[in-house]
Amino acid sequence: MEYAGIGIIVLIILLIVSNIKVVPQAQAYVIERLGAFQTSWSVGLHIKIPLIDKVARRVSLKEQVLDFPPQPVITKDNVTMRIDTVVYYQITDPKAYAYGIVNPLSAIENLTATTLRNIIGDLELDETLTSREIINTKMRSILDEATDPWGIKVNRVELKNIIPPAEIQDAMERQMKAERGRREAILKAEGEKKSAILVAEGKKESAILEAEAQKAAAILRAEARKEAAIREAEGEAEAILKVQSATAEGIKKINESNPSKQVISIKSLEAFAKAADGKATKIIIPSEIQGLAGLATSLIEVAKPDNKVINK
C-alpha cells in the first residue's frame, strides 16, 4: 500500500512538472481549454491544468520571409513576363493567426499573385521596369490590409526579379547598346568641343601675353631713349654752364688785372692766330694792333709762308 501511495505521489509530481511550460523569447503559445480558446501565453513561466488545457499552437513572433516563385503576369500593352516577389511579414495576433484562416502562408502567396497581376495589368512594359518602388508600396498596402484579420502584418514587399520574354530582352539589349553608343558619341563630341575651346583660349591668352610683352618692351625702350636724351641734354647744359662759368671767371680776372691796350691787342692777335690754326690763307688784322712792337716776329710765328697778311 505504501508503494502505491509513493507511486501516486510521483505520478502527481511528474504530471505537475509536465504541465509547467516556459515560453521562449519572441514566441507565443495559444492555449485551448476543453477545445475552446482560453488565452495566449507570452514569454515566461506558465502552468496549465492537466487534461483540461492544451497548447494548441506555438507561434513565432519574429519577422519572417516568404520567397514566392515567379508568377506570369500580363502588362497593359499585352507583354507577358514573369515576376517573383519576396514578402516580409510578422505575426502580431497569435489568436487571429491560429483561428483566422486555415493556411495563412498559402493564402498570402495566392493573395500576392492576384494583387501583382492587378497592379501590373494597369502598367505598360516600360512603366513596369521603372516603377518597382511604386509597385512595392501598392502591394504592401493591399496585402497588409488584407492580412490584418489573420493577425499578420506585412512589413515590406519587394519585386525580386522581373523576367521579360526573350525577344523583349534582345530588343532591350540592342536599345541599351544604341543608347550607350549615342552617349559615347555625345561625350566624345563634347570632349572635342571643350578641347577646341581650351586650345583657342590658350592661343588667345598667349597672343594677349605676347602683345603685352611687346608693349612693355616698347615702353621700356622709349623710356630708355627718353632717359638717354634727358641725360645727354643735361650733360650738354652742364658743359655749357661750365664753359660760361669759365669764360665769366676769365673776364672777371681780366677786369681785376686792369690790362693795358697793348696787352689786349696781343691777346687779340693770339686769338687770330688760334683762329687761323695754320690753315687760313687770308688773315685780316685790325689797324689798332698793327703798330705794336714786335708785330713782324709774331706774324712769322703764327703764319705760314704762303699766308697773306692784309691790313685793314
Beta-carbon neighbour count of residue 156 at 10 Å? 16
Distance CA 47, CA 42 (A): 12
Q: How confident is the model at residue 262 (pLDDT cuts 50, 70, 90)?
A: low
In this predicted model, what pLDDT tens digit does every residue of 40-92 receive, in sequence order? 999 999 988 888 989 999 999 999 999 988 989 999 888 889 999 999 999 99
The residue among 259 and 127 whose pLDDT is bigger is: 127
Percent of the chain past pLDDT 90, that is, above it, reads 32
Structure confidence at residue 87 (pLDDT): 95
Mean pLDDT of the chain: 82
Please give the distance of CA 294 from its chain centroid, rounded to a whole number.
107
Return the axis-axis angle of helices 104-120 and 132-147, rounded to nearest 10°.
140
Reported as a single tens digit per residue, the pLDDT across 193-240 is 998 999 998 888 888 998 888 998 889 988 888 888 888 888 888 888
What is the distance between the alpha carbons of residues 157 and 179, in angstroms, rounded to a whole number?
32
Q: Say if residue 290's pLDDT is above 60.
A: no
pLDDT tens, residue by residue, 82-122: 999 999 999 999 999 999 888 998 999 999 999 999 999 99
pLDDT at 252 exceeding the cut of 80: no
User: What pLDDT score was predicted for residue 308?
Assistant: 46
Of 156, 161, 160, 158, the closest CA to residue 63 belongs to 156
- At 108 the three-state DSSP class reads helix
Q: Which H or E element spans position 149?
A: none
pLDDT band per the 50, 70, 90 thresholds, residue 249: confident
Q: What interhelical angle do 261-276 and 295-302 show, nearest 10? A: 20
Q: What is the pLDDT of residues 138-195, one digit of tens each?
A: 999 999 999 999 999 999 999 988 888 888 878 778 888 888 888 888 998 999 899 8
**Does residue 310 register a pLDDT over 60?**
no
* pLDDT value of position 267: 63
Percentages helix, strand, coil for the chain (3-state, rounded to 5) are: 60, 20, 20
C-alpha to C-alpha distance for 144 and 157, rounded to whole angstroms = 10
| Close Cβ partners of 112 (under 8 Å, ≥ 6 residues apart) | 66, 68, 71, 85, 87, 139, 143, 157
